[in-house]
A and B are shown apart, each in its own frame.
Chain A
Amino acid sequence: MTITSPQTMYEKLWQTHLVEEAKGETPLLYVDRHLIHEVTSPQAFANLRFHNRPVRHPERTIATMDHNISTRSIKIDAAGEGAANQLRALAINCKDFGIELFDMGHKNQGIAHVIGPELGLTLPGTIIVCGDSHTATHGAFGALAFGIGTSEVEHVFATQTLRQNKAKTMKIEVKGHVGAGISAKDIILAIIGKTGSAGATGYVVEYCGEAIEALSMEERMTVCNMSIEFGAKAGLIAPDQTTFDYVEGKEYAPKGDVFEQAVIDWTNLKSDTDATFDAVLTLEAKDIKAQVTWGTNPGQVISVDGIVPSPEDFSDPVEKESCINALKYMDLTAGTKMTDIQVNKVFIGSCTNSRIEDLRAAAGVVQKYEGQQVVDTIDAIIVPGSYRVKEQAESEGLDKIFTDAGFEWRLPGCSMCLGMNDDVLEEGDRCASTSNRNFEGRQGRGSRTHLVSPEMAAAAAITGHFVDLNA
């Protein structure tokens, strides 16, 4: 009889994907699904051509146009010549190498991390990679999913494998239930506030506890999406009935007997009860309040009922220095109430918060303000994560709620999350954004980003400032 020691979900995913662990070499893992987009793939294709190598499993690779594209027009050149070049290159590369592409106007087009799940391309128990750090999103399904660089994109194209060092494991348990009006974004921002922006570097994180189990798939994706924002290699949530119900019937998901067998395998994925983690962090859900970032990394975050911190609040010299720099860049004074901070831009979108539930939540807040309009000095845009999300939202009349209140309703794409198209902030703009990075210059040189939930962003658009919706 063999006795296997208790394993974490990460170890199980690792074991089931380990192709080879040769002496003196970094372990080789199998990659089940590869998502690609226009920005990080062209140089990988160029190298394949140079070496005359094919894509080994084009059917395991899916391409979408998302980072660069215009949100006002489906014309390929609508966001400038540079963008158009990359988009055309992607189309040519996909054609030449036999890869399915969701291009402009395609019914499946959207942000990679939004379309993967909604099409059933994202499955529990798989390894999913993409040349984009928010690939961690797919961990919500119990898939080991992480971002890779262009050299690795090339490696996956040619071999369908990747070399990876084993990460350490961290368990983050959120006990109990969150209060009314607290979103998944608040949970993950509160976690990052605790760990700091590099607190999980070198780790794969597993989120668990009642508050996590209670989340819908969309909400779980929001949590896992931001794993990279505190340095984690990947974020995982154990698949359960919520997961299986979501996956079942999706276009690319397995069907019939194969699906039944898959569910059996997926059920066994969760960490064994006695599995040990290298680190453990526990939070009480009831303590989590609505969050707003005040600084220039996602760890610089505070509850909306709090005040902008002072450098004196930090004992660590690096954090103190970061606080000084952040306050200067953000043009904020220590002690200012978070609810007194005025914004002039609002962005609801990105792979963190552009799914149907996010839009419903934002629309719900707009409706609570009964007929009030977006403040006239504020530009507020809503960018659905995919065409499917857009269609669903329109069929529910959400677009009407938004446009009646003065929001702009755009076409799907990454948009102002990184501002590679023309959705860029101007110098000095202050934005309530549902995206995932508040780095200096992220949304435009000299612009200031406050990361918030869709509910908070909607409220900021209508009132002009952050609001404690639960007060």
Chain B
Amino acid sequence: MEKFNTHTGLVVPLDVANVDTDQIIPKQFLQKTERVGFGVHLFHDSRYLDHDGTQENPDFVINKPEYKGASILLAGENFGCGSSREHAPWALQEYGFKVILASSFADIFYGNCINVGLLPIKLSEAEIEQLFKLSPDAQLTLTVDLPNNTVTCGELSFKFSLNEFQQYSLENGVDSVGWTLDKLDTIKAFEAKMPAWQ
């Protein structure tokens, strides 16, 4: 996993609550055995007018010229609800997103983002509201500083927090499997004490 330090990028506002993983990446695109090839299908049903995805929907916010190249997604509450498909964060990442801002995320999706190195940031409802108000007219550019846990934009600055180990893992690009494998003796000792039925 790549290390995450600071990131400055353009914000695209997707002001819809409860965006589920079926909307982020519909099931017909889950039939791959690799981790790549999902970005072009991100938000497929909203992003394209036709089933085959050849005609962009000009009204969908991500397609608007002023948001081309955005790398920070400003999202509505309960973002990523629904399935456990890691294809959702893969698709967001491959499209070019590095950070997602929302007032709340679904649990599994949140964990999946951390595991792939896409930074999910929870801000308060009021802070998210403030950013939504700023973004439509202005080309809002934000700087996310992970080591200092801040999101800044000119005068504005918000604090966010991550769980200690998740923060460490993102900053250092930890191979989480390798990390745990280093503790194999502890795991084996645990197994030795388990009841027979388990």
Contacts and interface: CB of A to CB of B under 8 A. Distances in A.
A binds B: yes
Interface of A: 19-20, 24-26, 28, 30, 32, 39-40, 42-43, 46-47, 51, 53, 68, 80, 82-83, 85-86, 89, 123, 125-126, 131-133, 135, 146-152, 154-155, 158-161, 163, 165, 167, 197-198, 201-202, 228, 231, 233, 254, 258-259, 261-262, 265, 297, 318, 321-322, 325, 418-420, 437, 439-442, 445
B141 to A, nearest CB: 27
Contacts of A51: 177-178
B112 interface: yes
A148 B177 contact: no
Contact of A155 (B22, B28, B163, B177): B177
B82 A437 contact: yes
A254 B196 contact: yes
Contacts of A258: 196-197
Contact of A198 (B18, B111, B176, B197): B18
B83 A261 contact: no
A197 B34 CA distance: 32
B33 A46 contact: yes
Nearest to A88: B33
B198 A150 contact: no
Interface of B: 16-18, 20, 22-23, 26-28, 30-35, 45, 51, 76-78, 81-86, 89, 104, 106-108, 111-112, 115-116, 163-166, 168, 176-178, 180-181, 183-184, 186-187, 190-191, 194-198
A201 B112 contact: no
Given A254-B197, A258-B196, A418 B27 contact: yes
Contacts of A53: 177, 181
Given A198-B77, A262-B195, A85 B86 contact: no
A259 B197 contact: yes
Q: Nearest 4 pairs between A and B by C-beta?
A: A82-B31, A262-B197, A147-B84, A149-B112
Contacts of B177: 47, 51, 53, 154-155, 158-159
A111 B59 CA distance: 39
A266 to B, nearest CB: 9
A149 B86 CA distance: 5
Nearest to A129: B84
Contact of B164 (A24, A42, A154): A24
B49 to A, nearest CB: 11
A456 B107 CA distance: 31
A30 B187 contact: yes
Contacts of B104: 198, 201
A430 B6 CA distance: 47
B156 to A, nearest CB: 23
Given A152-B115, A165-B163, A445-B51, A68 B18 contact: no
B106 A201 contact: yes
A28 B190 CA distance: 11
Contacts of A150: 86, 112
Contacts of A148: 84, 108, 111
A254 B195 CA distance: 11
Given A30-B191, A86-B31, A318-B77, 12 more contacts: A39-B30, A42-B32, A46-B33, A83-B31, A85-B33, A131-B84, A149-B108, A155-B177, A158-B180, A160-B191, A231-B78, A233-B108
Nearest to B46: A440
A53 B195 CA distance: 27
B82 A439 contact: yes
B186 A149 contact: no
B115 A149 contact: yes
B111 A439 contact: no
Contacts of B194: 30
Given A126-B198, A147-B84, A165-B163, A28 B78 contact: no
B86 A151 contact: yes
B22 A441 contact: yes
Contacts of A445: 26, 45, 51
A441 B195 contact: no
Given A28-B180, A85-B31, A19 B198 contact: no
Given A86-B33, A149-B112, A419-B27, A28 B196 contact: no
Contacts of B16: 325
B179 to A, nearest CB: 8
A86 B32 CA distance: 7
A440 B45 contact: yes
A43 B33 contact: yes
Contact of A28 (B35, B51, B183): B183
A363 to B, nearest CB: 29
A100 to B, nearest CB: 18
B81 A197 contact: yes
A350 to B, nearest CB: 13
28 contacts: A26-B163, A30-B190, A30-B194, A32-B198, A40-B85, A42-B34, A47-B177, A51-B177, A82-B31, A86-B32, A147-B108, A149-B84, A150-B112, A152-B115, A154-B177, A161-B187, A167-B107, A197-B78, A197-B81, A201-B78, A228-B108, A261-B197, A265-B195, A297-B18, A297-B81, A420-B27, A420-B28, A441-B23
Contacts of B30: 39, 420
Contact of B187 (A19, A149, A437): A19
Contacts of A321: 17
Contacts of A147: 83-84, 108
